[in-house]
């Protein structure tokens, strides 16, 4: 089905949100122009809990993308929509097994790691325990990712082309560093992250290059 691409694309994003960051990378890789609408996860108890934003995303989470006359939530669904409607610079391999491998790595990160170290979960866990909690779950998840990459990785997560798995991996590595996870046991993860850190699409999507990044953290 042909999709009419009309109107401005707007990404509701927070500079340090890894889920927003995934989508920023995918948009940049596909060279899709978009505007950022910053939504603070911190200011006034979190703008994502406002009535206005709840109408956009009932889960009160970032990101959301306004595109083609509709509003989409859930970063992986958004990236898959981009993949299905913007065919330039594919982010899924044509080989079906490789595609499954990409989705496998995405799922481990998107469902198996990030939700456990999400802000609302950490608030629930409590100030005293939150760092150890996040570190534990990221380390556990990265053990699985490293093992999966052992059979799927080439230059990047699945072979030598950048895929959705790389869009998910790089922001998760940033989070791992925030929580002081020891990354030495994960040499493949580290190598891929290092290779992508200078890629223009990843640089432009980096938290430090976002309009809402506080000047003192740049």
Ligand X SMILES: N[C@@H](CCC(=O)N[C@@H](CS)C(=O)NCC(=O)O)C(=O)O
Choose the binding region for ligand X from 14-22, 156-164, 195-203, 205-213 (rule: CB under 6 A): 14-22
Question: What span, in angstroms and rounded, lies between the C-alpha atoms of 34 and 8?
Answer: 7
Rule CB under 6 A: is residue 17 a binding residue for ligand X? yes
How far apart are alpha carbons 151 and 101 in whole angstroms? 9
Complex with ligand X: residue 32 or 188, whichever CB lies closer? 32
Query: Please, which of residues 58-87 interact with ligand X by CB under 6 A?
Result: 61-62, 74-76
User: In angstroms, how far is CA 131 from the centroid of its own chain?
Assistant: 20
Nearer to ligand X among residue 106 and residue 148 (C-beta):
106
Q: Are 33 and 9 in contact, with CB atoms under 8 Å apart?
A: yes
Is the CB of 174 or the CB of 188 nearer to ligand X? 174
Size of the site for ligand X (CB under 6 A): 15
Are the beta carbons of 67 and 81 closer than 8 angstroms?
Answer: yes
Q: How far is the CB of 218 from ligand X (least distance, A)?
A: 20
- Between 61 and 80, CB nearer to ligand X: 61
Q: Rule CB under 6 A: say whether 119 interacts with ligand X.
A: yes
Query: Using the rule CB under 6 A, is 18 a contact of ligand X?
Result: yes
Contact call for residues 171 and 137 (beta carbons, < 8 A): no
Per CB under 6 A, the list member of 40, 50, 85, 120 interacting with ligand X is 120
Shortest distance, position 187 Cβ to ligand X, whole Å: 26
Beta carbon of residue 14, minimum distance to ligand X (angstroms, whole number): 6
Q: Site for ligand X (CB under 6 A): which residue of 29, 67, 110, 153?
A: 110
Is residue 125 near ligand X by the rule CB under 6 A? Answer: no
Task: Tell me how far the alpha carbon of residue 144 is from its chain's centroid.
Answer: 18
The binding site for ligand X (CB under 6 A) comprises: 17-19, 41, 46, 48, 61-62, 74-76, 110, 118-120
């Amino acid at each position: 089905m042909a999709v009419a691409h009309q109107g401005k694309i707007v990404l509701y994003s927070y500079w340090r949100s890894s889920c927003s960051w995934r989508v920023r990378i995918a948009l940049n890789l596909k060279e899709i122009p978009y505007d950022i609408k910053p939504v603070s996860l911190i200011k006034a108890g979190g703008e994502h809990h406002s009535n206005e934003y709840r109408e956009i995303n009932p889960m009160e989470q970032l990101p959301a993308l306004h595109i083609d006359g509709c509003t989409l939530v859930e970063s992986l669904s958004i990236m898959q929509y981009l993949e299905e409607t913007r065919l330039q610079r594919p982010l899924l391999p044509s080989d079906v097994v490789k595609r499954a491998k990409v989705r496998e790595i995405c799922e481990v990160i998107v469902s198996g790691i990030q939700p456990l170290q999400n802000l609302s979960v950490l608030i629930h866990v409590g100030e005293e325990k939150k760092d150890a909690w996040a570190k534990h779950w990221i380390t556990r998840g990265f053990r699985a990712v490293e093992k999966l990459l052992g059979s799927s990785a080439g230059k990047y997560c699945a072979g030598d082309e950048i895929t959705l798995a790389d869009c998910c991996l790089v922001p998760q590595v940033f989070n791992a560093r925030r929580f002081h996870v020891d990354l030495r046991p994960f040499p493949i993860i580290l190598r891929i992250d290092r290779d992508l850190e200078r890629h223009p699409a990843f640089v432009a999507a980096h938290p430090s290059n976002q309009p809402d990044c506080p000047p003192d953290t740049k």
